[in-house]
Structure 1
Amino acid sequence: MELIGKYLAAWNETDPAARRALLADVWADDAPYTDPLADVRGRDALDGLIAAVQAQFPGLVFTLAGEVDAHHHLARFTWHLGPKDGAPVAIGFDVAEFTDTEITRVSGFLDHVPT
């Protein structure tokens, strides 16, 4: 699913201007993102969260771990965070709500996080 691919690309984009452009393309202006460690609303806040995660885990990338399962403007997907060609250090599961053109909410769950 293209929206989820672009969303994950934003999490991996380290150039701030390019990341903001990806978010402008895929994320609704006031959409919330919530997981056990974060609760933010809007593109600017999500951009700041992504930058903080990248600072905490430099050089690691988010990848899809399987197919995106979607129906009725809902999608669920599992992701891995880890070295490009290595074992993940974190694993999560997200549920995204979307329209035909943008993501309107993501609720995240963390299955495995580094200690």
Structure 2
Amino acid sequence: MSTHEPDYDHLLRTNIERVFSERDPAQRAKVIAEIYTAEPVLLEPNDIVRGRDNISQTVDKLLERFGPDFAFVPVGQANGHHGLAHLTWHAGPKNGPVVVTGADVAEIVDGRIARLWVLLDTAS
């Protein structure tokens, strides 16, 4: 049994900064190919998205909906063990107010994201 743990912080930060905040689809596709398994699954509160291309299209729609200055920002450091990782984040216009907060929880297989649950915090 291997005791080697992947760099959970690198994987989840890269996902937030270079996938979910990346507006160039070609750049995003390269990063998705690097950090996601061949057949990843994205689980959102209202949808299940399968496959790298569909994940990229979901990000396109999300960024288009929120406008050109919207970005996701990691909060703190990701932690994980035995193939499960967690990272909190917030999002909103760059240099503007936080619009939404949440967390990503990922199943990591062979050093790549296999499944990603996007958990949104409820408004208080």
Q: Considering the TM-score relative to the shorter chain, is it more than 0.5?
A: yes
Q: TM-score, normalised by structure 2?
A: 0.84
Structure 1 unmatched ranges of 5 or more: none
Aligned residues: CA RMSD: 1.4
Name the counterpart of 1:51: 60
Q: TM-score, normalised by structure 1?
A: 0.90
Q: Partners in 2 of 1:83 and 1:95 — Cα distance?
A: 23
1:35-46 matches, within 5 Å, as: 35-46=44-55
Q: Partners in 1 of 2:51 and 2:27 — Cα distance?
A: 17
**4+ residue stretches of structure 1 with deviation over 4 A?**
none
Match of 1:2 among 3, 10, 13: 10
How many matched pairs?
A: 113
* Matched residue type, 2:46: L
Cα deviation code 1:66-97 (max 9, x no counterpart): 22121111111111111222321011122101
Q: Partners in 2 of 1:56 and 1:37 — Cα distance?
A: 16
Identity of aligned residues (%): 34
1:1-80 matches, within 5 Å, as: 1-8=9-16, 9-58=18-67, 59-80=69-90
Greater RCO, CA 8 A, separation 6+: 2
Q: Which has the higher strand share?
A: 2
* Matched residue type, 1:103: I
Structure 2 unmatched ranges of 5 or more: 1-8
Larger radius of gyration: 2
Name the counterpart of 2:3: none
